[in-house]
Amino acid sequence: MANVNEYSTRYSVAIDSAQTTLPGEWRVQSVGNKQGSDGYLELSKGDHLTKKETEFQKFASDIYNERLEMGVAREQARKDLPLATYTEAYWKVDLHNLLHFLALRMDDHAQLEIRLFAKTIGEQIVQKWVPNAWEAFVDYRLNALNLTKYDTQIIHAFNTSGKEGAKKKAIELGLLDAEGTTAKKSREREELESKLKDMGFSIPW
């Protein structure tokens, strides 16, 4: 179980600081993962967006402070502050649930910002606090290879019938199109291909 107490802008003035984005940090939406990103925008576009971000955050901050100066209640004055405004939170959690959180948020499919946050917690806090538990977590959970039902069926077909058998099974499972090509987008197939490479197998299609 976890218990979180967060800084409240209803009772206190908002922290006068926000996350900023460097020109080379603006990411492109991933085609295969609706919740993720893949690659970066051109630097010229990033420079434009960073300048706009700076202007927007200053504008929002000025409006917020003006409302406070005019006597508007904090709980109402805060409503247009950007999501990038920093906060503070005090988090109490047991080790079991902390490691479960880190397993989810250090995953490649998690958003970059939360991955970096989770990595810092894991490597700078947990690893130093409980080194033996952290080592076991990395070996048996974080770097473990989990196979789905589709994965095991295709690997079995590959072992018993070679590449053609694996390809046929992939078509049957809908991971390849009817012609056996990868023209059809499939996150399951892409993840399987990554696992096969990790295990030293060649991609059978």
User: What is the tens place of the pLDDT at every residue in 143-192?
Assistant: 999 999 999 999 999 999 999 999 999 999 999 988 888 877 888 899 99
* pTM: predicted TM-score of the whole model, two decimal places: 0.75
Angle of CA points 79, 82, 87, to nearest 5°: 90
Characterize 87-101 residue by residue with b for buried, 16 or more Cβ atoms within 10 angstroms of its Cβ, and e for exposed: eeeeeeeeeeebbeb
Segments of the chain assigned E as strands: 2-6, 27-29, 37-40, 89-93
pLDDT for res 83: 96
List the Cα angle 40/45/51 in 5-degree steps.
Answer: 115
Please report, for residues 37, 62, 73, 84, 204, the alpha-carbon distance to residue 77 in angstroms, rounded to integers and kept in the order given: 33, 11, 6, 16, 59
Q: Are 188 and 203 a contacting pair, CB within 8 Å?
A: no
| Amino acid 35: pLDDT | 80
Question: Half-sphere exposure of residue 180, counting CA atoms within 13 Å on the CB side?
Answer: 10
Q: Which residues are marked as active site?
A: 105
In this model, does residue 32 exceed pLDDT 80? no
* CA 19 to chain centroid: 17
CB 4 within 8 A of CB 91: yes
